[in-house]
Amino acid sequence: AIPDADVWVTTDIGGAIVIGSGKTNQNGQVVFYLDAGTVYVWRQKSGWNFVNPDTEVIS
């Protein structure tokens, strides 16, 4: 778990159209309520390396 990481969700792979953002809790979780479709999840925290974006299909 990675607490206090910045997480945001976009509808485009370029990361320009942000539809949600938040910070992970002490369990490394953040909740978004998203419509069905493909979204791109971006993560950032100092001292950590993430492969961005993570493609997710919401059904």
15 assigned to some structural domain: yes
Domain-located, residue 14: yes
Per-residue pLDDT tens for 11-26? 999 999 999 999 999 9
Given this model, what pLDDT does residue 3 score?
Answer: 98
Name the band, by pLDDT with cuts 50, 70 and 90, for residue 59.
Answer: very high
DSSP-derived secondary structure letter, 13? T
Domain count, the chain: 1
Give a yes or no: residue 40 inside a domain: yes
Q: Is residue 25 a part of any domain in this protein?
A: yes
Judge whether 41 lies within some domain.
yes
Q: Give the whole-angstrom CA distance, residue 14 versus residue 27.
A: 28
Instruction: Look at residue 1 and tell me if it is in a domain.
Output: no
pTM, rounded to two decimals: 0.94
Structural domain range at position 34: 6-58
Q: What is the pLDDT of residues 20-57, one digit of tens each?
A: 999 999 999 999 999 999 999 999 999 999 999 999 99
Pair of tokens at residue 51: 């492969």
